[in-house]
Amino acid sequence: MTKKEYDIVVIGGGPGGYVSAIRAAQLGLKTAVVEREHLGGICLNWGCIPTKALLRTAEISHLLKELPAHGFTAGELSFDLATAIGRSRKVAGQLSGGVRGLLKKNKVTVIEGEGRLTGPGEVSIGREKITARHIIIATGARARELPHLAADGDLIWTYRHALSPKRMPKKLLVIGSGAIGMEFASFYQDVGAEVTVVEALPRILPNEDEAISALAEKIFSRRGISLHRGTEVAALEKKKNNVTARLKTPEGEVKKEFDTVLLAIGIVGNIENLGLETAGVKTDRGHIVTDPYGRTNIDGIYAIGDVAGPPWLAHKASHEGVICVEKIAGHSPRPLKADLIPSCTYSRPQVASIGLTEQAAREKGHEVRIGEFPFVGNGKAVALGETDGLIKTIFDAGSGELLGAHLIGPDVTELVQGFVLARKLEATEEDLMETVFAHPTLSEAMHESVLAAYGRAVHY
């Protein structure tokens, strides 16, 4: 049987894979995507999108508690978790179907199955074999588990179980306080669960600026989420209907009981069963080693997205895919700079950042100017009744370069893109101070934070 030939075959149909394929097709390359489960990958089906649908439910739950302040009187409300989960799955399904439509529109062939490298320029999907001059691995990642912290889908969950639970947890332990952990902690606490979060490191949201982490801890604690920093889980002892967690705290070991435990201790790349060893592709600590254009150590084999290492973000994967394909096509794309990739956590409050933290900037030798502006000084935030949070900007004192921006508060995952653009265009403090921000908007807090770095804040 004649093998089907392509210019590019992408293994994995997530945000990195399907965007790569579409861009390749736009550039006139005959392209196929191999996907073993659902188009859109973990992000669209079991991550970014369904979690945001659930967090919308949590936001509505929060707003319902504010009805009296707005003149509304309502009877007793009830919450049905199954309905909320059903809506989130419907949203994911709609967008997965949309990805299929986009690939069809761009004449990308979709092959269902598990792809594996079986020879130079060859991919096997079951009994079918196809060939390509260029093979892009975009297989993503999965939840990390440890031998003494293994999920069973019943009492101990990963994020996938948390997105399709069989029951509503009453007492939930979240292990890990990164973006995944805090988003689920925020959701389940908003809809009625008693939530405890443990973090082995000295602060929650450990990748964020220290000032943001500290304020986030205060706000989450005020909401009623129990936070334990510098705490490790020594063991989980499963019983019939609950789990006893042995926690090693700075004060000593304690035992606490929960009916559900959620593991949010990071992710690991899907590098197994791809034929990487046979092909000679170099890996390191669970991810594929690449250069700035996604090229591995083997000619014609590339890797992008989560499988190629941190930061594990969908938008990073998509952009890497475009860069990789444009390089293959003979263009001259610019390599992706990690400090131009925004990071977002969609909890309540939201958290977002771009560039260097204050500590990182100082460690790099910068003399810095710091601006902070709280949302309590922003008219739109006061009108919304959402005044928790602040915006922090970091500038090089000599050049005026914006080194980093760190935000916590209402809709900051939308606001951060302004700072991303400013860094991309190498805007200085003067450019930003001279920019007119519409009134009344939350974005005015961005402007005031810049002004504050130079002693010119007006409204606080």
CA dihedral sign, ordered 414, 415, 417, 418: positive
Per-residue pLDDT tens digits for 405-427: 999 999 999 999 999 999 999 99
Q: What is the pLDDT of residue 150?
A: 86
pLDDT, one tens digit per residue, over 161-179 is 999 999 999 999 999 999 9
pLDDT digits (tens, 9 = 90+) for 95-151: 999 999 999 999 999 999 999 999 999 999 999 999 999 999 999 999 988 788 889
Mean pLDDT of 205-225: 98
Longest Cα–Cα distance of the chain, Å, equals 74
| Cα–Cα distance, 163 to 160 (Å, whole number) | 5
Q: Which of 221, 2, 222, 37 is nearest to 129 (CA)?
A: 2
Average pLDDT of the chain is: 96
Tell me the per-residue pLDDT of 81-111, one tens digit each, with 9 for 90 and over: 999 999 999 999 999 999 999 999 999 999 9
The first and second tokens of residue 431, run together, are 């450019």
CA angle 25, 31, 34 (to 5 degrees): 130
Averaged pLDDT for residues 280-289 = 96
As a whole number, mean pLDDT of residues 218-233 equals: 97
Average pLDDT value for residue range 434-447: 98
Cβ(162)–Cβ(58) under 8 Å? no
CA–CA separation, 76 and 36 (whole Å) = 45
When pLDDT is cut at 50, 70 and 90, the band that residue 2 belongs to is low
Task: Calculate the CA 179 to chain-centre distance.
Answer: 6
Closest CA to 429 of 401, 390, 458: 401
Q: Tell the burial category of 137 from Cβ atoms under 10 Å away from its Cβ (0-12, 13-18, 19+).
A: buried
Give the integer Cα–Cα distance in Å for 54 and 85. 7
Q: How many residues does the chain have?
A: 460
Mean pLDDT, residues 415-443 taken together: 97
Cα 122 to chain center, whole Å?
32
| 35-87 pLDDT per residue, tens | 999 999 999 999 999 999 999 999 999 999 999 999 999 988 899 999 999 99
**What is the pTM (predicted TM-score) of this model?**
0.95
Give residues with Cβ within 8 angstroms of 239, minimum separation 6: none
Of 6, 51, 47, 39, the residue nearest 138 (C-alpha): 39
Residue 171 CA to chain centroid, in angstroms?
A: 25
Residue of higher predicted confidence among 1 and 263: 263
315 as an active site residue: the answer is no
Considering the candidates 70, 161, 331, 439, report the single residue annotated as catalytic. 439
**378-397 tens-digit pLDDT:** 999 999 999 999 999 999 99
* φ, ψ for residue 44, nearest 5 deg: -75, -35
3-state secondary structure the chain: CCCEEEEEEEECCCHHHHHHHHHHHHCCCCEEEEECCCCCHHHHHHCHHHHHHHHHHHHHHHHHCCHHHHCCCCCCCCCCHHHHHHHHHHHHHHHHHHHHHHHHHCCCEEEECCEEEEECCEEEECCEEEEEEEEEECCCEEECCECCECCCCCCEECHHHHHCCCCCCCEEEEECCCHHHHHHHHHHHHCCCEEEEEECCCCCCCCCCHHHHHHHHHHHHHHCCEEEECCEEEEEEECCCCEEEEEEECCEEEEEEECEEEECCCEEECCCCCCHHHHCCCEECCEECCCCCCECCCCCEEECHHHHCCCCCHHHHHHHHHHHHHHHCCCCCCCCCHHHCCEEECCCCEEEEEECCHHHHHHCCCCEEEEEEEHHHCHHHHHHCCCCCEEEEEEECCCCEEEEEEEEECCHHHHHHHHHHHHHCCCEHHHHHCCCCCCCCCCHHHHHHHHHHCCCCCCC
Q: What pLDDT does residue 199 have?
A: 98
Band of residue 1 on the pLDDT scale cut at 50, 70, 90:
low
Q: What is the pLDDT of residues 340-375, one digit of tens each?
A: 999 999 999 999 999 999 999 999 999 999 999 999
What is the structure's pLDDT at 322? 98
Please state, in angstroms and rounded to a whole number, the distance separating the CA atoms of residues 13 and 33. Answer: 6
Nearest to 48 by CA among 309, 315, 286: 315
